[in-house]
Amino acid sequence: MTLRQQLNRIVFGTDTRAGRNFDIILLWIILLSVMVVMLESVPELGANFKAEFYIIEWILTVIFTLEYLIRIWISPKPIKYIFSFWGIVDLLSILPTYLSFFLVGYHYLLVVRIFRLLRVFRVLKLVRFSTEAQGLIEALKSSLYKISIFFMALIAIVTLMGTVIYVVEGGEEGFTSIPQSIYWAIVTITTVGYGDLVPHTVLGKFISSAAMIIGYAIIAVPTGIVTVAMSNAKEVGKDCKNCGAKNRIAAAFCDNCGQVFEPKNEK
Amino acid sequence: MTLRQQLNRIVFGTDTRAGRNFDIILLWIILLSVMVVMLESVPELGANFKAEFYIIEWILTVIFTLEYLIRIWISPKPIKYIFSFWGIVDLLSILPTYLSFFLVGYHYLLVVRIFRLLRVFRVLKLVRFSTEAQGLIEALKSSLYKISIFFMALIAIVTLMGTVIYVVEGGEEGFTSIPQSIYWAIVTITTVGYGDLVPHTVLGKFISSAAMIIGYAIIAVPTGIVTVAMSNAKEVGKDCKNCGAKNRIAAAFCDNCGQVFEPKNEK
Amino acid sequence: MTLRQQLNRIVFGTDTRAGRNFDIILLWIILLSVMVVMLESVPELGANFKAEFYIIEWILTVIFTLEYLIRIWISPKPIKYIFSFWGIVDLLSILPTYLSFFLVGYHYLLVVRIFRLLRVFRVLKLVRFSTEAQGLIEALKSSLYKISIFFMALIAIVTLMGTVIYVVEGGEEGFTSIPQSIYWAIVTITTVGYGDLVPHTVLGKFISSAAMIIGYAIIAVPTGIVTVAMSNAKEVGKDCKNCGAKNRIAAAFCDNCGQVFEPKNEK
Amino acid sequence: MTLRQQLNRIVFGTDTRAGRNFDIILLWIILLSVMVVMLESVPELGANFKAEFYIIEWILTVIFTLEYLIRIWISPKPIKYIFSFWGIVDLLSILPTYLSFFLVGYHYLLVVRIFRLLRVFRVLKLVRFSTEAQGLIEALKSSLYKISIFFMALIAIVTLMGTVIYVVEGGEEGFTSIPQSIYWAIVTITTVGYGDLVPHTVLGKFISSAAMIIGYAIIAVPTGIVTVAMSNAKEVGKDCKNCGAKNRIAAAFCDNCGQVFEPKNEK
């Protein structure tokens, strides 16, 4: 087995101890690097531990660069990898540190490194974490169309409601424009309620109350959509193997064609 | 085919390329016009780009006026169209601009144009977007009665709770009247929590805590109603074609009368 | 038919036109009287329309007193009625106005009249509004025990969380005592978030974040309980009439004993 | 029966009147002691009733110490009890009071006594309160894995969103660091909305609006998970006694092997 093959099993495989260890170590290094980016942004820490952060950052960048080069080397189609989603995420994880040499002062550039966090999900994907996640995502996908209709209706409601409150409050006390008033409508209807914009007129308060109760009621809609989708999702896989009829629940014989199939004792 | 018939196919139909293009172009023009109304209300933009907005607005108004006149012309019953819901929305979309000639200073009149947004839903209706929306609306309609009971109980709760907090807080620190205190009760029970009105007495805080926990619990009620309604809605259409019995789920034979019917392989 | 019998049919019955009219008129008088109590509490209105409110209030009180006396007269067991829930509500609706003669200055006494609002529910009860409400209440009752466990756990969580934040924030910036900090925990965990008490230390913010995410997650629990209860409730009444087996859903024969029963074509 | 055996029946048993009374009295003493800890922390009460609190506290501590010693004595494996969860909770309930002799000034040490509250759950456990709680916990456990995936996704979302708002708001007006901005993202996405940190730039408000709508939508996910889990949980126990096939709902014969089983008339 060549070095390339061995690396392949370690980097992509989860069936060897080395492969599993590689994933676990990488997971912790990614979390550490995200933590560094976060703590570096805290003014007190960033100033006092400037040197420490600088050293850790370079060590991590070198590790990630090595990993990136190995991934390119062992990939069967290097070009495809480089321009794939994960390839770009990997590049964005290391590029800002190198660019900080040339582009001094571009402070926020370094923040891009936070996207390293996404790499956690690739590692988890490898260790077969994602079977259950798949079920969740399937359920959400199947209800995507209904949810998008809901959101279109929601956007129309907040636009009209924001315009009404803009007229009612007379463009004063924060309700200075329609977009600003739509921001208020979203804050209200989602029950976030920052309190930075609140109605001051009697009519404004009345409309706000209506907005809150509407928001309180329509949160039931996405919840209902997702619950029904998940409830259906749990029945997936219990189709008749003979005639292909779907959703033959809890039956030992397909009640469509009579074919016996092995019952799954579902948990 | 006369011009009137051709226009009819373009404006109302979706089976020709011209018809579909008409819908898509109209959709974007409507969204553009809504965007103009919104941005015009922003003080800085409204002042700096006054001329630009004025020109765009008049172009859009001319387009919408043409569309309105065509719709009247090609409509089989023009009078009925003019006084229908969409007819009035169409008129409200263009009238404010014309009225702004005569009624100078009626600034907020122009805001009525935001109702153009509603016209988006007519366009979507044409391109058969609404089949899925129909399902959602059906589910909500079937639970309308239960939801209205819930809201009556909610209104009674916030009225009594608002009155209690008005007495407890002694009409001070914002709790100056019962309606104002009811506004607070709604803000609290819907978990919006602006923070413009907060209890200052110990008893007031205790009552607030109770209100929050009640609000937290009873949000489950509309959610439950809608989820059950949607869960039922998904079974619609699987009635026996022979005897008319409803909700014969996932069965190849009606278990009411034994009539065989084609099973729908539901997704 | 004596006057007493006639009055009985009007006050309690809903089968005659007079009975229905009585209910509808009473409903509007109650809503009017509640509106008067609410508007009277608004400082500007209470001062400017003092005389008007005074006159309306006395007319309404005389009407309610007459109604109260008639109810006592026509009741088969007057003593039982007087000490029943509705008897006490009726008395509380009229007593404050009479007491205001003797107890000048007891401003808040008059607020008790808001409990007239409860009488709306008696009227609605009579017009058979409550069949659907019954279903809702049954579903909530069946899940009462589970919900009470949930609330006990919630109270324990907010008590411990409030204590922790009291120690962490060091009794400062509003977190002056454990009960006060528990109030904060309730405001946070129910996602109300007034913002009158917010953590200022790093650790406090971390604990707050945990509290919010916990609150965000556990709202799923009462929702789940109520949804399942309602989902079960909709199947009520479809028991086998022969052997009494419950929840024989959508079957024309009881699959327990084979007895045929009339299928209900459920909506 | 020795004294040790008698105490055993009283302390651990619920089948005798003495055992039940012991539980009920203990429950009230625990609640009283928690109330004392809470009220003692209120500055006014703590100062004015210092002596009273001191006396009550010592009486309660003596009672709890006696109970603790009895539990050790009657326990079949005293060492195991001492280091068990409940043993440590019992010790933490009495230790702070004794330590306050030696460690004067360690004010917050006494707050540890609030963990006495946990002992309520042991008492409830004994009186068979927990059968229904068990059902709830089972349902939550079965969905624990899905919920943990949801939380990982949530943490990733708030981290990325917090970083974006940190860059957009330019580190000003409270958005001074990434961890602080993540705190804001959690406050927003969970719809708590304190209002201590609010976006001030137009782009920041736009991103906030997106965060709120995302938060509003994804609350449906845990709700859906828990509802489906509970809905499944209610069907537990209706397995075929013959072949062990699960979830044979509402059937008198196992539709897997044909074995007749006694139908449970489920509530």
Residue C258 has pLDDT above 60, yes or no: no
Contacts of A218 (CB under 8 A, 6+ apart): A150, A154, A189
Task: Give the Cα separation of A119 and A107 in Å (integer).
Answer: 23
Higher pLDDT, D135 or A203: A203
Residue B167 — very low, low, confident or very high, per pLDDT cuts 50/70/90?
confident
Assigned domain for D198 exists: yes
Higher pLDDT, A239 or A63: A63
Question: How many C-beta neighbours within 10 Å does residue B34 have?
Answer: 23
Task: Give the Cα separation of C250 and C246 in Å (integer).
Answer: 12
Please tell me which residue of chain C has the smallest CA distance to A202.
C42
Write the CATH number for B115. Answer: 1.20.120.350
Q: Domain range holding B19?
A: 3-123
Residue C235 has pLDDT above 60, yes or no: no
Our CA-based measurement puts residue D97 at a distance from the nearest CA of chain B, in whole angstroms, of 28
Is the domain of C148 the same as that of C226? yes
Is the domain of A116 the same as that of A155? no
Residue C244 has pLDDT above 80, yes or no: no
Stretch C75-87: mean pLDDT? 88
Task: Quick: pLDDT tens for A20-76.
Answer: 788 888 889 999 989 988 888 888 888 888 888 889 988 999 999 998 999 888 888
How large is the ipTM? Answer: 0.80
Name the least confident of C12-26, C92-106, C148-162, D122-136.
Answer: D122-136
Higher pLDDT, A232 or C201: C201
Q: What is the mean pLDDT of chain C?
A: 78
Whether residue A191 and residue C191 make contact (CB cut-off 8 A), yes or no, is: yes
Residues of D with Cβ-Cβ distance to C176 under 8 angstroms: 42-43
Residue A261 has pLDDT above 60, yes or no: no
Q: Which residue is it, tokens 């949530």?
A: D154
Residue B250 — very low, low, confident or very high, per pLDDT cuts 50/70/90?
very low
Contacts of C51 (CB under 8 A, 6+ apart): none
Is the domain of C56 the same as that of C153? no
Stretch C236-245: mean pLDDT? 46
Please tell me which residue of chain B has the smallest CA distance to A246.
B265
DSSP assignment, residue C16? S
Q: What is the mean pLDDT of chain A?
A: 78
Task: Quick: pLDDT tens for B132-143.
Answer: 667 777 777 777
Stretch B87-107: mean pLDDT? 81
Name the least confident of A47-56, A133-142, A224-233, B37-46.
Answer: A133-142
Whether residue C195 and residue D190 make contact (CB cut-off 8 A), yes or no, is: no
Contacts of D174 (CB under 8 A, 6+ apart): D180, D184, D196, D197, D198
End-to-end alpha carbon distance in chain C: 43
Our CA-based measurement puts residue B78 at a distance from the nearest CA of chain A, in whole angstroms, of 28
Higher pLDDT, D197 or A239: D197
Higher pLDDT, D138 or D159: D159
Task: Give the Cα separation of B99 and B30 in Å (integer).
Answer: 20
- pLDDT for the residue A228: 83
Assigned domain for C266 exists: no
Name the least confident of A142-146, B107-111, B214-218, D185-189.
Answer: B107-111
- pLDDT for the residue A263: 40
Cβ(D173)–Cβ(D264) below 8 Å: no
Residues of C with Cβ-Cβ distance to B227 under 8 angstroms: 227, 230-231
**Nearest neighbour of C192 by CB, restricted to B180, B188, B205:** B188
Residue B266 has pLDDT above 70, yes or no: no
Buried b vs exposed e over C153-178: b needs ≥16 C-beta within 10 Å? bbeebbbbbbbbbbbbbebeebbbbb
Please tell me which residue of chain C has the smallest CA distance to D183.
C209
Task: Quick: pLDDT tens for C34-50.
Answer: 998 888 888 888 888 88
The encoded tokens of residue C154 equal 């919630």
Is the domain of C23 the same as that of C70? yes
Contacts of C35 (CB under 8 A, 6+ apart): none
Please tell me which residue of chain B has the smallest CA distance to D231.
B228
Task: Quick: pLDDT tens for B190-208.
Answer: 888 898 889 998 899 999 9
Residue A236 has pLDDT above 50, yes or no: no
In D75-200, which ranges are continuous DSSP H helix?
A: 78-82, 85-102, 119-126, 130-142, 144-168, 178-189
Residues of A with Cβ-Cβ distance to B38 under 8 angstroms: 159, 177-179, 182
A215: nearest Cα among D219, D158, C212: D219
Q: Which residue is it, tokens 């109304």?
A: B37
Assigned domain for A87 exists: yes
Task: Give the Cα separation of C143 and C124 in Å (integer).
Answer: 25
Residue B243 has pLDDT above 60, yes or no: no
Stretch A195-199: mean pLDDT? 89
Is the domain of B62 the same as that of B101? yes
Whether residue C267 and residue B255 make contact (CB cut-off 8 A), yes or no, is: no
**Nearest neighbour of C117 by CB, restricted to B160, B176, B220:** B160
- pLDDT for the residue A188: 92
What is the share, in percent, of chain B residues with pLDDT greater than 70?
Answer: 80
Residue B158 — very low, low, confident or very high, per pLDDT cuts 50/70/90?
very high
Is the domain of A64 the same as that of A144? no
- pLDDT for the residue C127: 47
Assigned domain for B247 exists: no
Q: Report CA-CA distances (Å) from B143 to A154, B150, B219, D64.
A: 19, 11, 15, 54
Residues of B with Cβ-Cβ distance to D250 under 8 angstroms: none
Whether residue A252 and residue D246 make contact (CB cut-off 8 A), yes or no, is: no
Whether residue C225 and residue D230 make contact (CB cut-off 8 A), yes or no, is: yes
Whether residue D222 and residue C216 make contact (CB cut-off 8 A), yes or no, is: yes
Last residue of a domain, one of D105, D123, D141: D123
**Nearest neighbour of D195 by CB, restricted to A139, A194, A234:** A194
What is the DSSP secondary-structure string of B10-46?
HHH--SSHHHHHHHHHHHHHHHHHHHHHHHHTSHHHH
Question: Count of residues for chain A?
Answer: 267
Cβ(B266)–Cβ(C266) below 8 Å: no
Q: What is the pTM of this model?
A: 0.82
Our CA-based measurement puts residue C10 at a distance from the nearest CA of chain B, in whole angstroms, of 25
Task: Give the Cα separation of A254 and B231 in Å (integer).
Answer: 24
Task: Quick: pLDDT tens for D83-97.
Answer: 988 888 888 888 888
Residue A267 has pLDDT above 70, yes or no: no
- pLDDT for the residue C131: 63
Residues of D with Cβ-Cβ distance to B191 under 8 angstroms: 191
**Nearest neighbour of D198 by CB, restricted to A121, A196, A250:** A196
Stretch B252-258: mean pLDDT? 45
Assigned domain for C64 exists: yes
Residue of B131, B143, B225, B226 to mutate, interface with A, max A Cβ within 10 Å: B226
Is the domain of A112 the same as that of A133? no
Task: Give the Cα separation of C216 and A223 in Å (integer).
Answer: 13
Question: How many C-beta neighbours within 10 Å does residue C113 have?
Answer: 25
Our CA-based measurement puts residue B190 at a distance from the nearest CA of chain A, in whole angstroms, of 6
Higher pLDDT, C189 or B13: C189
Assigned domain for B249 exists: no
Task: Give the Cα separation of D196 and C59 in Å (integer).
Answer: 50
Say which amino acid occupies D247. N
- pLDDT for the residue A59: 92
Q: Taking the CA of residue A141 as centre, how many other CA atoms within 13 Å lie in the half-sphere pointing to its CB?
A: 8
CA dihedral B106→B107→B108→B109, nearest 10 degrees, is: 50
Our CA-based measurement puts residue A67 at a distance from the nearest CA of chain B, in whole angstroms, of 43
Please tell me which residue of chain D has the smallest CA distance to C230.
D231
Residue of B169, B178, B226 to mutate, interface with C, max C Cβ within 10 Å: B178
Given a contact as 3+ CB pairs under 8 Å, which chains touch A? B, C, D
Is the domain of B110 the same as that of B204? no
Q: Report CA-CA distances (Å) from B171 to A60, B159, B197, B204, C51.
A: 61, 16, 12, 12, 22
Cβ(A30)–Cβ(A117) below 8 Å: yes
Is the domain of D42 the same as that of D142? no
Whether residue B227 and residue C225 make contact (CB cut-off 8 A), yes or no, is: no
Given a contact as 3+ CB pairs under 8 Å, which chains touch D? A, B, C
Cβ(D226)–Cβ(D139) below 8 Å: yes
Contacts of B250 (CB under 8 A, 6+ apart): A247, A248, A249, A255, B238, B263, B266
Higher pLDDT, C231 or C71: C71
Write the CATH number for D146. Answer: 1.10.287.70
- CA triple A245-A247-A252, angle to 5 deg: 85
DSSP assignment, residue B169? T
Contacts of C195 (CB under 8 A, 6+ apart): A194, A195, B193, B195, D193, D194, D195, D196
D202: nearest Cα among B205, A46, B99, B42: B42
Cβ(A248)–Cβ(A255) below 8 Å: yes
Whether residue A156 and residue B118 make contact (CB cut-off 8 A), yes or no, is: yes
Last residue of a domain, one of A96, A123, A150: A123
Residue C18 — very low, low, confident or very high, per pLDDT cuts 50/70/90?
confident
**How many Cβ pairs within 8 Å bridge chains B and D?**
9
Q: Which residues pair with C253 in a beta bridge?
A: C260
**Nearest neighbour of A195 by CB, restricted to C191, C195, C227:** C195
Name the least confident of B74-78, C8-12, D96-100.
Answer: C8-12
Q: Which residues pair with A253 in a beta bridge?
A: A260
Task: Give the Cα separation of D134 and D200 in Å (integer).
Answer: 48
Residue of D27, D39, D40, D41 to mutate, interface with C, max C Cβ within 10 Å: D41
Contacts of B72 (CB under 8 A, 6+ apart): B78, B81, B82
- pLDDT for the residue C62: 92
Name the least confident of A190-199, B46-55, B117-126, D45-54.
Answer: B117-126
Is the domain of C75 the same as that of C25? yes
C32: nearest Cα among C113, C104, C95: C113
Is the domain of D232 the same as that of D210? yes
Q: Which residues pair with B260 in a beta bridge?
A: B253
Task: Quick: pLDDT tens for B100-133.
Answer: 877 766 667 777 888 888 888 777 765 445 566 6
Residue C251 — very low, low, confident or very high, per pLDDT cuts 50/70/90?
very low
Cβ(A147)–Cβ(A218) below 8 Å: no
Q: Report CA-CA distances (Å) from C177 to C43, C162, C163, D118.
A: 35, 9, 9, 20
Assigned domain for C267 exists: no
C119: nearest Cα among C60, C164, C190, C75: C60
Our CA-based measurement puts residue A130 at a distance from the nearest CA of chain B, in whole angstroms, of 23
**How many Cβ pairs within 8 Å bridge chains A and B?**
140
- pLDDT for the residue B131: 63
Residue A247 has pLDDT above 80, yes or no: no
H or E element, residue D51: helix D50-74
- pLDDT for the residue C104: 67
Burial (Cβ within 10 Å: 0-12, 13-18, ≥19) of residue D43: exposed
Residue of A227, A230, A242, A254 to mutate, interface with B, max B Cβ within 10 Å: A227
Task: Give the Cα separation of A160 and A3 in Å (integer).
Answer: 64
CA C206 to chain centre: 37
Whether residue C136 and residue B149 make contact (CB cut-off 8 A), yes or no, is: yes
What is the share, in percent, of chain A residues with pLDDT greater than 70?
Answer: 80
Residues of C with Cβ-Cβ distance to A227 under 8 angstroms: 227
- pLDDT for the residue C222: 84
Assigned domain for B229 exists: yes
Residue A245 has pLDDT above 50, yes or no: no
Stretch A248-259: mean pLDDT? 43
Residues of D with Cβ-Cβ distance to A120 under 8 angstroms: 156
Give the phi and the psi of residue B70 in degrees, each rounded to 5.
Answer: -60, -45
Residue D215 — very low, low, confident or very high, per pLDDT cuts 50/70/90?
confident
DSSP assignment, residue C262? P
Residues of A with Cβ-Cβ distance to D191 under 8 angstroms: 190-193
Is the domain of B119 the same as that of B144? no
**Nearest neighbour of B190 by CB, restricted to A194, A215, A255:** A215
Q: What is the mean pLDDT of chain B?
A: 78
Whether residue A193 and residue B186 make contact (CB cut-off 8 A), yes or no, is: no
Task: Give the Cα separation of A133 and D146 in Å (integer).
Answer: 7
Whether residue D194 and residue B195 make contact (CB cut-off 8 A), yes or no, is: yes
Last residue of a domain, one of B66, B97, B123: B123
Given a contact as 3+ CB pairs under 8 Å, which chains touch B? A, C, D
Burial (Cβ within 10 Å: 0-12, 13-18, ≥19) of residue B233: buried
Residue C69 has pLDDT above 80, yes or no: yes
Residue B256 has pLDDT above 80, yes or no: no
Question: Count of residues for chain D?
Answer: 267
Stretch C9-20: mean pLDDT? 76
What is the share, in percent, of chain D residues with pLDDT greater than 90?
Answer: 13
Q: Report CA-CA distances (Å) from A40 to A50, A63, C27.
A: 8, 19, 66
Question: Count of residues for chain C?
Answer: 267
Q: How many domains does chain A have?
A: 2
